[in-house]
């Protein structure tokens, strides 16, 4: 049985902090859990923190793009934060442009980006 990635609610935003390298099943579970939490909470934004990831393979790269697309369909914008330079270079080398995925250097910038994109207002603090 795979571990679940915790999803925290902060105002109108769900925060996903990925702390370990992800196995394929964990990625699939995360997508399902996140989709359910967006609907259950009415979240308007999702922040995925990947600062702890040292490497990203094509499966995880596609997961980020797919997660952002699913979130958008459910009326929540997604920002990926904390991407390391090596991870960015790997994604480019793999030919994964992560179309539709917004990125920011840190949580503060990610929340500002979501506030502008989704007009979340003062609920973000």
In 3D, which of 56, 101, 50 has the Cα closest to residue 79? 101
Which string of b and e fits 110-122 if b means at least 16 CB within 10 Å? bbebbbeebebee
Provide the number of structural domains found in the chain.
1
The answer as to whether 125 is a domain residue is no
Rounded to two decimals, what is the model's pTM?
0.87
- Domain residues for the domain of 112 are 7-118
In a domain, 2, yes or no: no
Exposed / middle / buried, residue 102 (Cβ in 10 Å: 0-12, 13-18, 19+): middle
Query: Is residue 88 domain-resident?
Result: yes
Kindly state whether residue 123 falls inside one of the protein's structural domains.
Answer: no
User: Is 62 domain-assigned?
Assistant: yes
Please report whether residue 1 resides in a domain.
Answer: no
CATH number of the domain bearing residue 84: 3.30.750.24
> Strand pairing partners for 13?
10, 45
pLDDT tens profile 80-105: 999 999 888 888 888 887 777 899 99
Provide the residue-wise pLDDT of the chain in tens; the chain has 125 residues: 457 899 999 999 999 999 887 788 888 899 999 999 999 999 999 999 999 988 788 888 888 888 889 999 999 999 999 999 988 888 888 888 777 789 999 999 999 999 887 565 555 54
Residue 29 inside a domain? The answer is: yes
């Amino acid at each position: 049985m795979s571990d679940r990635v915790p999803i925290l609610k902060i105002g109108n935003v769900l925060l996903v902090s990925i702390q370990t390298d992800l196995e394929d099943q964990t990625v699939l579970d995360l997508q399902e859990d996140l989709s359910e939490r967006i609907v259950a909470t009415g979240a308007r934004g999702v922040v995925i923190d990947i600062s702890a990831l040292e490497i990203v393979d094509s499966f995880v790269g596609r997961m980020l793009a797919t997660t952002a697309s699913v979130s958008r369909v459910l009326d929540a914008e997604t920002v990926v934060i904390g991407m390391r330079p090596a991870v960015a270079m790997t994604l480019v080398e793999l030919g994964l442009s992560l179309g539709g995925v917004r990125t920011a250097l840190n949580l503060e910038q990610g929340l500002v980006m979501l506030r502008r994109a989704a007009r979340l207002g003062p609920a973000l603090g």
